[in-house]
Copies of this chain bind each other. A is one copy, B any other.
């Protein structure tokens, strides 16, 4: 699983290294291929191929192109989506429009989120934490009760 946080940098071509710790947890069947897209907040989500297909794609495939609400959502999700394979230096090329969406320039905060990886603008992440009005303990109680 992906856990922990790392402060890396984005080079001039938009490449981001995937931490070595994370690479060890990617299934061989993912074939070093990842899918990225916007998160539901201002960050970038990165999924290993196998997980993307199982969890995300399966659900997207159920949406109907002739339903306006469903196709609108699909459009928003896929507009900023991209597929890429790690290069020989274990980096991913992140599209410009995705970096812009997340407000990432030189510095990037890489977060492990169990099955997926998130990329944040470091300052934006700090701000996001402060904005969250409820304390961790309160959210924890509320959200985790559903999963018991």
Stoichiometry, as copies per complex, reads 2
Q: How far is the CB of A50 from chain B (nearest CB, A)?
A: 15
Q: How far is the CB of A91 from chain B (nearest CB, A)?
A: 18
Contacting pair B59 A148 (CB below 8 A): yes
**A interface, how many residues as a size bin?**
35 or more
Contact with B along A9-37 (1 / 0, CB 8 A): 00000000000010000000000000101
A137 closest partner in B (C-beta): B40
Q: Beyond A1-B57, A144-B59, is A40–B75 a contact (Cβ under 8 Å)? A: no
Contacting pair B63 A147 (CB below 8 A): yes
Contacting pair A4 B136 (CB below 8 A): no
Contacting pair A95 B137 (CB below 8 A): no
Q: Which residues of B are found within 8 Å of A97, using beta-carbon distances?
A: 5
Contact with B along A125-148 (1 / 0, CB 8 A): 000010010001101110110111
